[in-house]
Amino acid sequence: MTETSLTISKLTALANPTRFIALATRIIPWLAAISALCLIAGVYLSFTTEGDYQQGETVRIMYIHVPAAWLSMMCYTVMAASALGTLVWRHPLADVSAKTAAPLGAAFTFLALVTGSLWGKPMWGTWWVWDARLTSVFILFLMYLGLIAFNRAMDDPGRAARVSAIMILVGFVNIPIIKFSVEWWNTLHQPASVMRLDGPTIDPEFLRPLLIMAIGFTLLFFTLHLTAMRNEIWRRRISVMRRHAARTAQAGGAS
């Protein structure tokens, strides 16, 4: 068997919701424990490092704001990959992944917007400016809310999955706009200082707790996402059982 065949075989095995639930149940406690340790260590380092010589103590907002901003885009990227799984490969769990990632993405995006405003007030002298970065992130937040509302409004799960997948892929164009907005347009928001081809420009004293917090946030997302996916599978199973019971009772009454 080739390596590609083995990979496809593993993905096919995970397509079984029962197997996925069993795997998620084993993984979730470990992910939760590691994410908690990273977040505790990150918070400790965030408060024990000295303040920035220009920004003072407000620089500590960075340790929440930056990971939340990263996760806001990563969540949507996970949703886009799931949308491809729905439309191209018709993976049974792809729609479950996209649907459950949307509320998490909305939460991280909201956290990024709030902490960004708290950081922007002392740095820029205003809570909000309609520059390219902030506006595109706000649009991302509205996209999350729209997808959540759409999924809750649709009664047909199959049609909802297909239409939602198309909407997600169309909206993905906003992710590179967010990423490169500070380079394409003149904005108040600072350019990238960590993910750079020539290396990070941020001081190692600030970089270490920032990376630990980013790892903690990322593991927290996967913990919550797997938990939400497991709950969604159970919810759908219960919904099917209720509909089957209702049809059985209706057929029994008619006879």
DSSP letter string, the chain: --HHHHHHHHHHHHTSHHHHHHHHHHHHHHHHHHHHHHHHHHHHHHHHSPPBTTTBGGGGGHHHHHHHHHHHHHHHHHHHHHHHIIIII--TTHHHHHHHHHHHHHHHHHHHHHHHHHHHHHHHSSS----HHHHHHHHHHHHHHHHHHHHHH-S-HHHHHHHHHHHHHHHTTHHHHHHHHHHHS--SS---SSS-TT---S-HHHHHHHHHHHHHHHHHHHHHHHHHHHHHHHHHHHHHHHHHHHHHHHHHHH-
Say yes or no to pLDDT of 252 above 80. Answer: no
Asked if residue 153 belongs to a domain, the reply is yes
Query: What is the number of domains present in the chain?
Result: 1
Tens digit of each residue's pLDDT (9 = 90 or more) over 229-250: 999 999 988 888 887 788 888 8
Where residue 140 falls among pLDDT bands split at 50, 70, 90? very high
Residue 36: inside a domain: yes
Question: How much is the pTM?
Answer: 0.88
User: Which residue range is the domain that position 57 belongs to?
Assistant: 30-188+206-231
Domain-located, residue 220: yes
Q: Is the pLDDT of residue 10 over 50?
A: yes
Q: Is 82 a member of any domain?
A: yes
Least confident range of 35-39, 93-97, 146-150, 246-250: 246-250
17: in domain:
no
Mean pLDDT estimate for the chain: 87
* 197 confidence band (pLDDT: 50, 70, 90): very low
Q: Is the pLDDT of residue 149 over 70?
A: yes
Max avg pLDDT among 10-19, 38-47, 51-60: 38-47
Q: Does any domain span residue 57?
A: yes
Say what the pLDDT of residue 104 is: 98
- Residue 194 domain flag: no
Instruction: Classify residue 105: in a domain, yes or no.
Output: yes
**198-216: average pLDDT:** 81
